Amino acid sequence: MSLPYSEKLIKYFMHPKNVGEIEDADAVSTEESPASGDMVKSER
Amino acid sequence: MRTGTLFSRSINAEQEEIIFTSGDTESNNLTLNGIIEGNKDKQKKKILVSKIEHFSVLDTAKRLAKKGYAVDFINVNNEGFIDLNHLEDLIDESTLIVSVTHGNHEVGTLQNLKSISEIVHKYGSLFHSYATYSYLQVLIDINDIGVDLLTLFADKVHGSKGVGALYIRKGTPIIKIMEGGYHEYNIRPGVENIPGIAGFGKTCETYNDEETRKIKNLRNYLYSTIKSKIDRVSLNGASDFNKRIPNNLNVSFDYVEGESVVLHLDMRGISVITGSSCFSRSLHASHVLLAMGFSHERAHGSIGFGLSKYITKEDIDYTVYHVNEVIENLRNLSPLTKS
């Protein structure tokens, strides 16, 4: 199948960066759209 | 043997009850539009279709609703079976046609068409079924199940794309929806795709029960292996595997999004489908899983596997190994895993 995604997107898709958990994070925020299946959780 | 005869015998119909089309989309469009064109009883103006129909039925019905026809959508339960009580509530003497898929294209649930046709015919309505995904995989005897029209497609049984068929019971009032000639008993104008039709006939001739049994066993092996290796997996569709299309398995993996699974597996040479909205061109989650009462999350995590006579046990082992690895990796990234 030819993928309808850019090379850059595929690069980050295959090798995601800054993924993981911060113990005792100062702030945590989650944004999501269940209908479209998107969810992002960030910590700092 | 003539290809038309091969088809008619495969569903116990007469040869002149089969017409060839360009595929299932055309057959389904021809059914709903052609029956409306051919209808002489002006009291009959209601169309009923199930909520889990293929878009070629669902969207045709919605288009007819915009033109002023009364269109209603029949509920299904959480395994994808038609709610017969809801059908009884919706149907009345004004119902022209009811359309319900035999084997669902996504979750594989096989409807009991006979029980549906008994209700439909009590009201003098016509009954159409989209049988592309069940044809040749399960026995279809149109006289036993009592359908008036039945859609078939070559692509799903190793035939070519661009070739379909429509069974139309003798005497069914249907009129062609395209102009251009008198082909196919004056119901579908245009020169037929002869090589494609001949190939479709060959698939009909060569399909056998032994292959179907093998596919069913491999499908069962696929499911049991996935269940034994991966946790938080839910089966979508009929829990009684005898009431599913033999080559279909559809499951949802918690905490992952189907689009990512599809892409990772594609890169490993494995093709699957998902009900996730991100992967559909409409950007909507699977209307089938939502109609079955499931959450968007479950629809997004759904993955459909399709087997064929060319799949081996080694292919299944290869698939499960990679599915397991992909799901594990994605769950490690997922914000849902630890929420």
Q: CB under 8 Å to B179, separation ≥6 — which residues?
A: B189
Of the candidates B278, B317, B328, B337, the residue annotated as catalytic is B278
Tokens 């290869």: give the residue: B318
Q: Respond yes or no on whether ipTM tops 0.85.
A: no
Kind and range of the H or E run holding B290 = helix B287-291
The 10s digit of each residue's pLDDT in B235-266 is 999 999 999 999 999 999 999 989 899 999 99
DSSP string, B49-96: EETT--HHHHHHHHHHHHTT-EEEEE-B-TTS-B-HHHHHHH--TTEE
**Per the CB < 8 Å rule, is B277 touching A37?**
yes
Confidence check: pLDDT of B131 > 80: yes
Name the least confident of B67-81, B180-194, B305-319.
B180-194
Tokens for B97, please give them. Answer: 């046609």
Instruction: For residue B204, indicate whether it is catalytic.
Output: no
In three-state secondary structure terms, B250 is strand
Q: pTM of the entire structure?
A: 0.92
* d(C-alpha B328, C-alpha B32), whole Å: 45
**How high is the mean pLDDT of chain B?**
93
Looking at residues A5-34, what average pLDDT do you find?
87
Q: Which residue in B260, B296, B339 is closest to A35 by CB distance?
A: B296
pLDDT given for residue B245 in this prediction: 96
**Per the CB < 8 Å rule, is B339 touching A21?**
no
DSSP string, chain A: ----S-HHHHHHHHS--S-S--TT-S-EEEEEETTTTEEEEEE-
Q: Nearest C-alpha of chain A: how many angstroms from B262?
A: 11
Confidence check: pLDDT of B339 > 60: no
The 10s digit of each residue's pLDDT in B5-39 is 777 778 888 889 999 999 999 999 999 999 999 99
Closest chain B residue by Cα to residue A35:
B296
Confidence check: pLDDT of B112 > 80: yes
Per-residue pLDDT band for B154 (boundaries 50, 70, 90) equals confident
**Per the CB < 8 Å rule, is A37 touching B260?**
no
Asked if B219 contacts B235 with a C-beta cutoff of 8 angstroms, the reply is no
